[in-house]
Structure 1
Amino acid sequence: MIESIPSVKAMAAYALADLGDVETVSLAQNESAFPASPAALAAGRAAMEQAHLYPDPDWSDLRTAIAERHGLSAGQILCGAGSMELIGCLVRAYAGPGRQVLGTEFGYAYVASAAAQAQAEYLKAPELGLTVSVDRILDCVTEKTSIVFVCNPGNPTGTLLPNSEIIRLREKLPGDVLLVVDQAYAEFADAQHDPSEIFALVEQGNTVVTRTFSKAYALAGARVGWGCFPLPVAREVRKLLNPNNVSVASQAMAAAAMRDGDYTEQIVRQSSALRDRFAVQCRELGLEVPESHTNFVLIRFPDEALAKAADSALRQEKLLMRGMGGYGLSDCLRATVCREEIMEQCVRILREVLS
């Protein structure tokens, strides 16, 4: 029987979320608590009339919508089947055997999988207080480091570095190290932290910023991500992207969602209010919850046994949070913001477990 190549055979499969059965309410995927913009849904339905045609390989209307919203050049923008595709292509383009990819202790786990696919070494810089530390990242940079990945806001922590620290990181990194700032949850922080300051780093030629439509735009099922790239980097990454990678309907939905800024801001406000209320209620139970700048909260229990007991009690009532053992946080559960009545049910169950 034929076998896979050694590097693939040695890889661990990417850990997918346990979603339970069809009756389970998942708080494990960081999906939006609210539906997508009505304008986006209408655009998707209309676009299905063109389903017999291949999608626009240049994502022309979508790139225009993104560029107009963020004051960028459309030529700087690449779109992918989720930001995961863009991240995977970045690693394959700029890392490989003999090169290192540097992430952080609690950074996005898919980066490690992408590095393994490229046969690059993956290292993690320690975080401080569940927050990325620029100084610890710089301490871990070696002559083999080709890419530094920073997830900001962080997943699964929800914590945030101010723009000034991201800018300091770029200034201190060697010029030939590519900095990738993964901003999957940035819309939840944009009102307090000017996004143009981070996009401006792209002009230096060695920084990429990635974002997604899966969270604040409520289009996780459409699989659309995008990034702002220096033009030379965009040329190399585009060689590795699948042609026609974003479907006709997904492009139409994402473009309409990007143009419906009022609706997105409404989702962010409502999600943030639910998140903050739930976080306060958890803290009142004596649980540790870092301040979150996303659509989820990380809940730290006094010990692993209580985290497992809470997980079990939630599952008994068909509620599912995300266990964090894979991140070395076995005393934690991550809870996606969901409908208010679901969050209240979670609080009740946690109170019973802790009492």
Structure 2
Amino acid sequence: MKIQTRSVIESIFSYPLGDSPEEIKEKYQLKKVRKMSDNENVYGSSAEVKKAISQCIDQLYLYPDGTTAKLIKNLASFYQIEEDRFLIGNGSEEIIRLLTRAYLNHGDEAVMAATTFPRYESNVIIEGGQAITVPLLNGVHDLESMYEKITEKTKMVFICNPNNPTGTIVGKAELLHFIESVPANVLIILDEAYYEYVTTDDYLESLPLLKKHANLIILRTFSKIYGLAGLRVGYGMMDSSIVKELHKVKEVFNVNQIAQAAAVTALNDQSFIEACAEKNAIERAFVCEQLLEMGVGFFPSQTNFIYVYSQYPVSAKLITKGFIIRQMKLQGFEDAFRMTLGTREDNEAFLYVLKEALIERAV
């Protein structure tokens, strides 16, 4: 007899991780693969991070600081906001989980985009909540329609800005109007994992809104531009009353000591972050220009990845040539995928194979 899981779990699928680089190499008999699927920083992390990690090696027998005090102190100084507004998580994904754990009752609703980071929906369902999804409008959050979905059952709204997987942003004025319109008893969870990659002036600087809107929660991470994806450190900025509630449901030692030390060091090397952002912007413009010349569709990105869509099946060819991208469906198109921007060499090689695939399909 099968041991029965909770009924809500039955509708959830595991996060699709795909084949590893080694598996792709073996499967297609390749000498080299380029991993362009997980939005990691191709330029790595600050050189200072290795030094910080080495200094922790002799203290691995000790539990980490459960209060993450040093990292919070550094973040508070960096952003010039109060220390009691911070919560550090094992990636910002953990904070999403803690929010649903702390605030959702069975049957409560959470509004989100239909095409966005899938763990919002998963965590809502796990807690017995109802995920109310709203289709994107030209790859962008449709905030007007999302607002219309808010009812007396709504407990939280998720906005990924820039959005994963489309890379798009919500305009400054539109997002501000939305935040000011949402009832004060509904949490607004603004996921800004790719904040540091944004270059447009039409992006809302959300931090100044924290004092005015006690229901606003801003999530950021060290996994993307800081290059610490392997250590899992994210953080939320919010009203101190919400921080207190989340402390009740979080694990005691949720962020290990190596991760904490690395994050402090990475935060203090802003010259590295600025260099990565500049290189990314150059490569993003280059790849987008080449895609336009090829006649390949894509959403305008403000991140370190681009969501590409085509009338022809091309992603399979990319994978067989060693380019690991994230395949995703888009209604009305034969093929769609998300590709992480790489170095110029990576991007040129990717574009060459993509062009080959298009030519083959056109013949």
Shorter-chain TM-score: what band?
Answer: over 0.9
Instruction: Show the counterpart of 1:165.
Output: 174
User: % of aligned pairs identical?
Assistant: 28
Higher mean C-alpha deviation, range 176-185 or range 58-67: 58-67
Is residue 320 of structure 1 aligned with residue 324 of structure 2?
yes
Aligned residues: CA RMSD: 1.9
Note the alpha carbon deviations across 1:118-162, whole angstroms, 9 max, x for none: 010001122211111221111111211110000000110101113
Distance 2:333 2:165 in 1: 10
The one-letter code matched in structure 1 to 2:347 is: M
- Equivalent in the alignment of 1:201: 209
Q: What is the aligned partner in structure 2 of residue 347 from structure 1?
A: 351
Partner of 1:99: 108
1:243: which partner in 2? 252
> Do the aligned partners of 2:167 and 2:305 also contact (CA within 8 Å) in 1?
yes
CA distance in structure 2 between the partners assigned to 1:165 and 1:47 by the alignment: 45
Q: For residue 354 of structure 1, what is the amino acid of its counterpart?
A: L
3-state SS of 1:49 partner: helix
- The 5 Å alignment of 1:1-355 reads 1=1, 3-22=3-22, 23=25, 24-189=33-198, 192=201, 197-203=205-211, 204-302=213-311, 306=312, 309-325=313-329, 331-355=335-359
Does structure 2 retain, via aligned residues, the 8 Å contact 1:176–1:206?
yes
Q: Using the TM superposition, give the Cα deviation of residue 248 of structure 1 relative to its aligned residue in structure 2, in angstroms.
A: 0.7
CA distance in 2, matches of 1:34, 1:177: 39
Report the CA distance between 1:280 and its aligned residue.
1.2
Instruction: Quote the Cα distance in structure 1 between the aligned partners of 2:330 and 2:67.
Output: 37
CA deviation vs aligned residue, 1:2-21 (integer Å, no higher than 9, x gap): 62443354232332221344
Aligned length: 349
Q: Distance in 2 between the 1:232 and 1:329 partners?
A: 46
Cα drift, residue 194 of structure 1: 7.2
Unaligned runs of 5+ in 1: none
Q: Distance in 2 between matches of 1:170 and 1:121?
A: 21
**In 2, Cα distance between equivalents of 1:137 and 1:248:** 40
Q: Distance in 1 between matches of 2:266 and 2:332?
A: 36
Q: So what's the TM-score if we normalise by structure 2?
A: 0.91
Q: Deviations over 1:318-340 (max 9, x none)?
A: 11110113999763110001122
> 2:30 matched to which residue of 1?
none
Cα deviation, 1:276-296, whole Å, max 9, x if unaligned, reads 211111111101122211100
Counterpart residue type for residue 199 of structure 1: L
Assess if the C-alpha contact under 8 Å between 1:36 and 1:219 holds in 2.
yes
Whole-angstrom distance in 1 between the partners of 2:202 and 2:67: 30
Structure 2 alignment gaps of length 5 or more: 26-32
**Structure 1 length as normaliser, TM-score?**
0.93
Q: Distance in 2 between matches of 1:199 and 1:139?
A: 25
Aligned-partner residue type, residue 353 of structure 1: A
